Structure 1
Amino acid sequence: MALRFIGIDPETGQQGSPTVWVDEESAELVLQGWKPDARLEAECAAFEAPGHAPGIPPHEAVIRVPARMVPMIREACDVAERAGLR
């Protein structure tokens, strides 16, 4: 895996900063974020997307990242898209 660091939330200090990377080999975003509280996780788990069963599969997770990181996520999307075109 070739991780490319994109950015870290500048407002979280030294404790548990949400972070964005791109795996350039798989052209995937890799995100570190805050765990949701029980209410939010339950709401996400109860959501029924068309064609999918409700719930969060054991191999998946819900995370939260602040909206101020949108520019970093956009950059990561661009990097992943370019990596996928190779």
Structure 2
Amino acid sequence: MKALTLFDEIARLAGGIEAEDRHGVVRFFPCTTLSVGAVLVKPNEFEKVEQVANAAAIAKHRAKNSSSGLYIAKREAAIPEKAAI
């Protein structure tokens, strides 16, 4: 929410500003926000790097949808199956 204080009242009410993009085209830019999604990874928890990337993408998506803009994924340790009696 601190980022919004960097915008004037008109921009805050509009939800952003109109300005030229890098190609010189005037367009609307929404007010700046920051979202952080993190995954706590333990050694040997994932078999492939793609699995880590997928978990990070999910965490980022959840951060963007959270009110705080922060999401930390903690994977629970697997519970050993009960031994057959």
Bigger share in strand: 2
| Shared fold per TM-score greater than 0.5 | no
What TM-score, normalized to structure 1? 0.25
Q: Kindly name which structure, 1 or 2, has the bigger radius of gyration based on alpha carbons.
A: 2
